[in-house]
Amino acid sequence: MSGTRRRFFQDAAVLGAGLFGLRETLHAGTPESTLQSPRENENGRHPPYGSHGPHPAQARAVVRDHALPMVTPDVAALAHEMDGGIKIFHVVAEPVKRKIAPFKTIDAWGYNGSCPGPTIQVQQGDRVRVVFENRLPESTSLHWHGLELPIEQDGVPYISQKPVAPGEKYVYEFTVHQEGTFFYHAHSAMQEMMGQIGFFVAHPENDYKPHVDHDYGLILQEWAVLPSNTVPNTAAMEFNWLTFNGVSAPMTTPLLARLGSRVRLRILNLGMDHHPVHLHGHQFVVTGTEGGRAPDSTWCPMNTVLVGVAQARIVEFEAKYPGAWMIHCHLPHHMMNSMMDLLRDRQIQTADQTEAKAMSQMESLARSVPFQHAHPSPVASNAESVPGFPQDAFMEMGMDEVVEKPETYGLPKNWSAGMMGMMTMIRVLPDREYEAILSKKKSASPSPQEDHHHES
């Protein structure tokens, strides 16, 4: 690689720095204060999930809501009210602006200002009422994926109910007799691909064994958003943005685990592709599926689990080894952001690549990223004489400061350059470091347990 070209990339990175502020709100559509926090998992026993604390009407529920709540990083929890013994949730389908990367905000559809929708958690045995309102420009419904309920609650347009027209409300009510990891979604294919999906977790009447210290949820989604566009192309068959809980790495908030703790990770997929999700440095067992808990005689050691479309896979592991361990889809094209294949001129191509052409592509890419970023890894001086070059060179964009948050504290410099697409990490931390991040979180966010509440 010529010195001129190398300098360009350095210059381009600096050039981008002044265009916009370095710091922007990281979570469009999901106010920072409502995001769920790993701190909630600290003591193992908590106030009822989705509530602001004990409320007289909740007294009965408090007794039953003993489970460790699942935390969905970057996605809010949905608060509930009690009406007698019934848990009431308000769900609003509506368009959502979602910042999926520091330099990319899309026009998705979701629920209650969030995409994916806010996480609903109940207790096995609960009577649940969902007051649903449609603020989309077209009809929709809510389907309760995996739940065994009366047909009139199944949420399928024309088959089990009249579609909910724009501006209309619809009330779902059912008793949850199962335990497990379920989801709610629009039962309309294109609406699903616009982002209309959320977790519906039913905690078991009797705690799962063994006990876990951390319970995390990840929703896998795919988006086809052409350059300079904000609206996903839901008819596309290939995707250039891949997200965990509505954000692409390095914007995904790292999961935290205390060294020696046991971790549950619930992975849910509602897209067009199956995703082999891989964990570094540890073995896990699959303890359940979208159908509920699996008998422990079926558990076998793995470190990659294929999460098919419409499936959930629940894995558990002992966080034995300190470090920042990747959790990512292992499909190579799902480990990238803004895949160039959708550009007219591909960055990676098998035809001759002239330096001028590469320069102009890299320049437009660098200019499209409105903040300082670094391409930290060196390339050989003869790189351009090697057929196939460049592959990963220049795709990495270090942007540590832009995605900085308490959970990233202490990561090695340029860590963000190694994170793209469907990736996050679990930081397995010895006590002192774990506590240090928790206290940073505390001071960064005065009320992280405050739940997203939609004003209707």
State in angstroms the smallest separation of the CB of 320 from Cu ion.
Answer: 26
Give the three-class secondary structure for 425. Answer: strand
What one-character-per-residue DSSP string does 409-424 give? TTPPTTGGGG--BSEE
Helices and strands, number each (H, E), in the chain:
5, 20
State in angstroms the smallest separation of the CB of 244 from Cu ion.
Answer: 10
> Closer CB to Cu ion, residue 275 or residue 441?
275
Stretch of 74-82, 154-162, 325-333, 407-415 lying at the interface with Cu ion (CB under 5 A): 325-333
Stretch of 179-187, 264-272, 324-332, 382-390 lying at the interface with Cu ion (CB under 5 A): 324-332
> Closer CB to Cu ion, residue 176 or residue 218?
218
Q: Give, to the nearest 10 degrees, the angle between helix 3-15 and helix 355-368.
A: 20
Nearest C-alpha neighbor of 160 from the set 150, 145, 171: 150
User: Which residues touch 317 (CB under 8 Å, ≥6 apart)?
Assistant: 262, 263, 265, 279, 282, 283, 284, 285
**How many other CB atoms are found less than 10 A from the CB of residue 272?**
17
Among 104, 145, 334, 452, binds Cu ion (CB under 5 A): 334
State in angstroms the smallest separation of the CB of 223 from Cu ion.
Answer: 12
| Residue 329 in the binding site for Cu ion (CB under 5 A) | yes
The alpha carbon of 454 is separated from its chain's Cα centroid by a whole number of angstroms, namely: 20
Stretch of 80-88, 286-294, 321-329, 386-394 lying at the interface with Cu ion (CB under 5 A): 321-329
State in angstroms the smallest separation of the CB of 454 from Cu ion.
Answer: 31
Contact of 182 with 130, CB cutoff 8 Å: no
State in angstroms the smallest separation of the CB of 281 from Cu ion.
Answer: 20
State in angstroms the smallest separation of the CB of 308 from Cu ion.
Answer: 11
| Residue 328 in the binding site for Cu ion (CB under 5 A) | no
Whether cis (ω within 30° of 0) applies to the bond prior to 232 is no
How far apart, in whole angstroms, are the C-alpha atoms of residue 195 and residue 222?
A: 9
In angstroms, the first-to-last Cα distance of the chain is 58
Contact of 384 with 355, CB cutoff 8 Å: yes
How far apart, in whole angstroms, are the C-alpha atoms of residue 329 and residue 334?
A: 6
> Closer CB to Cu ion, residue 90 or residue 275?
275
Nearest C-alpha neighbor of 424 from the set 315, 334, 342, 341: 334
State in angstroms the smallest separation of the CB of 421 from Cu ion.
Answer: 8
Structure tokens at 437: 């991040």
Stretch of 12-20, 184-192, 332-340, 387-395 lying at the interface with Cu ion (CB under 5 A): 332-340
State in angstroms the smallest separation of the CB of 387 from Cu ion.
Answer: 28
| Residue 331 in the binding site for Cu ion (CB under 5 A) | yes
Give the three-class secondary structure for 34. Answer: helix
**Site residue total, Cu ion (CB under 5 A):** 4
Task: Write the DSSP symbol of residue 163.
Answer: -
> Closer CB to Cu ion, residue 121 or residue 269?
269
State in angstroms the smallest separation of the CB of 248 from Cu ion.
Answer: 12
Site for Cu ion in 50-79 (CB under 5 A): none
> Closer CB to Cu ion, residue 252 or residue 445?
252
State in angstroms the smallest separation of the CB of 267 from Cu ion.
Answer: 11
> Closer CB to Cu ion, residue 116 or residue 398?
116
Residue 446 burial by CB count (10 A; 0-12/13-18/19+): exposed, middle or buried? exposed
Site for Cu ion in 259-298 (CB under 5 A): 275
What binding mask, one character per residue, do residues 351-380 give for Cu ion by CB under 5 A, x or -? ------------------------------
| Residue 339 in the binding site for Cu ion (CB under 5 A) | no
Stretch of 230-238, 303-311, 322-330, 405-413 lying at the interface with Cu ion (CB under 5 A): 322-330
> Closer CB to Cu ion, residue 172 or residue 244?
244
| Residue 203 in the binding site for Cu ion (CB under 5 A) | no
Residues interacting with Cu ion, by CB under 5 A? 275, 329, 331, 334
